[in-house]
Amino acid sequence: MISLEQIREIAIASASKIVLLVIDGLGGLPHPETGKTELETAHTPNLDRLAGVSICGLSDPVSPGITPGSAPAHLALFGYDPLRFEIGRGVLEAVGIDFDLKDEDVVARGNFCTVDQDGVIADRRAGRISTERCAQLCQLLGGVGIDGAELIVSPVSGHRFVAVFRGQGLDAELSDSDPHREGVAPRAVSALSSGAERTAQMANRFIAQARLVLADSHPANMILLRGFSKRPDFPAMSQVYKLKPAAIASYPMYRGLAKLLGMAALDTGDSIEEEFATLARHYGQYDFFFVHVKPADSAGEDGDFDRKVSVIEEVDGLLPRLLGLEPAVVVVTGDHSTPAVLKGHSWHPVPLILHSKWCRPDRVAEFSETACARGGLGRFPATAVMPLAMANALKLIKFGA
Amino acid sequence: MISLEQIREIAIASASKIVLLVIDGLGGLPHPETGKTELETAHTPNLDRLAGVSICGLSDPVSPGITPGSAPAHLALFGYDPLRFEIGRGVLEAVGIDFDLKDEDVVARGNFCTVDQDGVIADRRAGRISTERCAQLCQLLGGVGIDGAELIVSPVSGHRFVAVFRGQGLDAELSDSDPHREGVAPRAVSALSSGAERTAQMANRFIAQARLVLADSHPANMILLRGFSKRPDFPAMSQVYKLKPAAIASYPMYRGLAKLLGMAALDTGDSIEEEFATLARHYGQYDFFFVHVKPADSAGEDGDFDRKVSVIEEVDGLLPRLLGLEPAVVVVTGDHSTPAVLKGHSWHPVPLILHSKWCRPDRVAEFSETACARGGLGRFPATAVMPLAMANALKLIKFGA
């Protein structure tokens, strides 16, 4: 597969526009009674009609057989090989709440936990306290002063939070304080490189202070930190593709991820309809739009086959608004499969439609896993989606002479 | 493609079982009279029925267009990229007779050859002496004493043998004594790294002694050694996949190869039926079974189209016994193609059936090259077989968050 560096050499800016519509968790598995997947069950006249004038295929988000998390799956769709471009656990957690990380920030994922009077961990998740309680305790922790850096503590959900150390010359090469098991004391954070000594001391001072501050907050009377990391230095999509990219996503995680790649995260509402309206409103201002539809994945995760079918039908109903904008290239796909029968992400490849004036249509006339398996794109890695979209938008010049 | 190191991070042990049935040389080419391949000609009701409830595809053993040897083709099926995981020629020869190599052994492939009175090679293969004669001469050579190591000489077939140097601190970085042509004298073995000096001297002493011992054994009056190598340090399948793997193979080569990857090589008989019986007998003791059916390849190599058809039909007849064990995942495929019309291995991709509860069946209802080309797995690298089998057995957790 061509690298981002090589794409960058041949990408050119132009007026043509690309819309990448991602129906999260789109791929499915057959319902045991009907033998049809969610997508095959849904009544999707608009998607089927689009498939009929497009080229279709099935993409592997990470590698055949691999079930991706949301971050790697989306990185792949944007052309960043997730086996190469890794995001630290702390950064991922910050991305998940769309926290505005600065380049120099060091961020850790935190858990509230319970320790006994000897300091031994009795519960790594502090009885899974409520998100509301988590927010209160984060406010307490945020008041802890540490020399040499600003400390920001933000709640995520339940017992989870992020701790951000903001200052000059901080280094994220640090070990976890979380021993990843119970019955032992939290570990001291240690520097994994010589440059990280000062940051390690800072983290340990924070942990010591946190223990004092939380002493009376049983069961959340201690913290565990892990996955210290910095905002990764990925090349921006504007540099690689010469695009002016925007993300339309109601869920914080996807806005956060898009911003890591230099996309503008547009304000939008909670509904799919509002996302489509946001696209129409900002259509003149950008030339690449990532539109993210979350509820299909949520329904799949809940094992709710029928709700997933409804979400797909809702998208189908809204599709004409998107097509009415007449983008040069429209891609409709998912980031991964979330079959309702598996109640979670899965490894199954994801159906995809690519429409453009130059797409070389195949004979697929229906948007489904089975039909896409026979599509002109075949089965291909998701990292090929962006090069294919760029090519169809006539935004890639010839490689070599 | 995901690496073994990355697979190792996400593989989990579980009770579910995988059976990988390899019909050696399965893929074929159309018979000039009927236009049907061996697999298409064979009457295979059980394989066809299985295909109907499975996902199918065509796999490339090494890379499109590349005709693989048996070792690389099998390495790929086990998930070890044969372009990265190489086995030395000496080791491969030892593997071929299922010789029990120790980690420290240095092994060379040997030829008996004919030299004239000046020591010049007249025939690199000593007139292709019989395997029986080879065994007698190996016994003679085995009596040669060399300081600092034990010497084991084992016959392979015809003029071929393996020479194993067993001792401490031996180094395989040695040049061949075989000049790979006739009309010149054998070369002295030389050290290719400074640590290999002692082993080079040892090899040269052995060669000198062999010449004396064989002086009266014309035409096999000298030896040539090549491909000095050590047992490769491949990660064991138990470590990579967290599996307890077993191999059922009547041919020594495949048992030897399986053992290099840490599989248990189960005692079995010479017939396909005995191999299936061995599977049933040991089914409770392992969670991964590699079952190897050799005669399809042998028939292809002999150019015997009809015999290859019969072998495939025999496997089809036995298939219900395997399916009756109800493994979580069944894969039926070949290691490579051996079309009878080509009388040898070929580069053609290999048909494959993958069955599990979660396989997302395609509309393929027949096990054949043509039908598999339209299967849901598409055309994919053989190194994806293990990740796909592991995923379908629910033995891989999510990659990334």
pLDDT above 90 covers a percentage of chain B that reads 96
Domain C-terminal end among A212, A229, A246: A229
Q: Which of B5, B240, B398 to mutate to test the interface with A (most CBs of A within 10 A)?
A: B398
Here the ipTM equals: 0.90
Q: Is residue A401 part of a domain?
A: no
Q: Largest Cα–Cα distance in chain B?
A: 72
User: Mutate which of B360, B377, B395, B396 to test chain A, going by most A C-beta atoms within 10 A?
Assistant: B360
**Are B245 and B340 found together in one domain?**
yes
Q: Where are the alpha helices (DSSP H) in B67-171?
A: 70-77, 89-96, 131-142
Alpha carbon of A57: minimum distance to chain B alpha carbons (Å): 10
Token reading at A252:
């914080």
Is A397 inside a domain boundary?
A: no
Pairing mode, strands B160-166 and B150-157: antiparallel
Q: If contacts are CB pairs under 8 Å, which of residues 4-23 in chain B contact chain A? A: 6, 10
pLDDT bucket at B145, cuts 50 / 70 / 90: confident
The answer to whether residue B401 is domain-embedded is no
**CB-based contact A61:A368 (threshold 8 Å):** no
Could you tell me the two tokens for B19?
């059976």
Residue B246 sits in the same domain as residue B280? yes
Residues 6+ apart with CB under 8 A from A326: none
> Residue A296 belongs to what H/E stretch?
helix A295-301
Please give the Cα distance from B399 to B315 (Å, whole number).
37
Instruction: Spell out the alpha helix ranges (H) of B196-304.
Output: 197-213, 237-241, 252-260, 272-282, 295-301
Which of A26, A66, A342, A374 best probes binding to B when mutated, by most B CB atoms within 10 angstroms?
Answer: A66
Q: Are residues B101 and B77 in the same domain?
A: no
Contacts of A91 in chain B (CB under 8 A): none
State how far residue B14 is from chain A, nearest Cα, in angstroms: 17
- Sequence-distant (6+) residues with CB within 8 A of A335 are A22, A24, A25, A26, A61, A68, A70, A73, A74, A76, A77, A297, A350
User: Which are the contacts of B217, defined by CB distance < 8 A and separation ≥ 6?
Assistant: B137, B140
Shared-domain flag, residues A260 and A221: no
Residue B31 has φ and ψ, to the nearest 5°, of -65, 135
Put simply, the answer to whether B398 touches A348 (Cβ < 8 Å) is no
The helix, strand and coil proportions of chain A, stated in percent and rounded to the nearest 5, come to 35, 20, 45
Are both A200 and A340 inside the same structural domain? no
Cβ atoms of B319 and B46 within 8 Å: the answer is: yes
The shortest C-alpha distance from B85 to chain A (Å) reads 19
The answer as to whether B397 is a domain residue is: no
pLDDT-derived band at B164 (thresholds 50, 70, 90) equals very high
What is the mean predicted confidence (pLDDT) over A221-240? 96
In this complex, do A370 and B362 lie within 8 Å of one another by their Cβ atoms?
yes
In this prediction, residue B148 has a pLDDT band, given cuts at 50, 70 and 90, of confident
A114 touches chain B (CB under 8 A): no
Nearest by Cα to A65 from B239, B79, B82:
B79
Burial track A119-152 (b if 16+ CB lie within 10 A, e otherwise): eebbbbbbbebeeebbeebbeebeebebeebebb
Residue A34 has pLDDT above 90, yes or no: yes
Q: Does B376 touch chain A (CB under 8 A)?
A: yes
CA–CA dist A6, A15 (Å, integer): 22
Task: Classify burial at A206, counting beta carbons within 10 Å of its beta carbon; exposed 0-12, middle 13-18, buried 19 or more.
Answer: buried
How confident is the model at residue A147, as a pLDDT? 86
Tell whether B343 is covered by a domain. Answer: yes
Clarify whether residues A76 and A110 are in a common domain. no
Give phi and psi for B141, each to the nearest 5: -65, -35
Task: Read off the pLDDT of residues A35-89 as tens digits, 9 standing for 90 and up.
Answer: 999 999 999 999 999 999 999 999 999 999 999 999 999 999 999 999 999 999 9
Q: Select from A229, A246, A261 the last residue of a domain.
A: A229
E-assigned strands of A237-343? 245-249, 264-265, 288-293, 329-333
For residue range A352-375, what is the model confidence (pLDDT) as tens digits? 999 999 999 999 999 999 999 999
- Please determine, for residue A145, whether its predicted confidence score (pLDDT) is greater than 90: no
Q: Do B399 and A65 touch (CB under 8 A)?
A: no
**pLDDT, tens digit, for every residue of B203-233?**
999 999 999 999 999 999 999 999 999 999 9
Residues A162 and A260 in one domain: no
What pLDDT, on the 0 to 100 scale, is given for residue B147? 86
Indicate the number of domains in chain A. Answer: 2
Tokens 């040898």 belong to residue: B344
Indicate whether B278 and B379 sit together in one domain.
Answer: yes
Q: Specify the pLDDT at position A96.
A: 87
* pLDDT of amino acid B176: 97
* Residue of B387, B400, B401 lying closest to A64 (CB–CB): B387
Which CATH number belongs to the domain containing residue B73 in this structure? Answer: 3.40.720.10
Q: Does a structural domain hold residue A399? A: no
CB A21 within 8 A of CB A331: yes
C-alpha B264/C-alpha B71 separation (Å) is 17
What's the farthest any 2 CA atoms get from each other in chain A? 72
CB neighbours of residue A215 within 10 Å: 10
Alpha helices, DSSP H, located in B102-150: 131-142
Domain that holds residue A79: 4-85+234-392
Q: What is the mean pLDDT of residues B190-200?
A: 96
Of A187, A213, A229, which residue is a domain's last? A229
Structure tokens at A216: 């009376």
Amino acid at A266: L
Contact indicator for B330, B394 with CB cutoff of 8 Å: no
Find the helix packing angle between A45-52 and A305-324, rounded to 10°.
60
B77 and B113, same domain (yes or no): no
Partner-chain residue, chosen from B377, B399, B401, that has the shortest CB–CB distance to A62: B399
Amino acid at A335: D
**pLDDT digits 0-9 by tens, B77-132:** 999 999 999 999 999 999 989 899 999 999 999 999 999 999 999 999 999 999 99
Residue A160: inside a domain: yes
In A143-271, alpha helices (H): 197-213, 237-241, 252-260
Model pTM score: 0.92
B373 touches chain A (CB under 8 A): no
Average pLDDT, chain B: 96
The answer to whether the beta carbons of residues B286 and B241 sit under 8 Å apart is no
Mean per-residue pLDDT over chain A, rounded: 96
Kindly report the nearest CA distance between residue A62 and chain B, in angstroms: 8
pLDDT at B114: 97
CB pairs under 8 A between A and B: 92
Q: Is the pLDDT score of B68 beyond 90?
A: yes
Q: A351 with A265, same domain?
A: yes
Q: Are B22 and B335 in contact (CB under 8 A)?
A: yes
pLDDT at A401 > cutoff 90:
no
B334 and B388 in a single domain? The answer is yes
CA atoms within 13 A on the CB side of B191: 12
Residues A290-347: pLDDT tens digits? 999 999 999 999 999 999 999 999 999 999 999 999 999 999 999 999 999 999 999 9
Residue A277 forms contact with B (CB below 8 Å): no
Which residue in A has a C-alpha nearest to residue B387's C-alpha?
A65
Is residue B400 situated within a structural domain?
Answer: no
* pLDDT number for residue A387: 98
Residues A223, A252 within the same domain: no
pLDDT at A146 over 90: no
- Chain B residues touching residue A83 (CB < 8 angstroms): 2-3, 6
Q: Does B388 touch chain A (CB under 8 A)?
A: yes
- Locate B15 and state its tokens: 């009770």
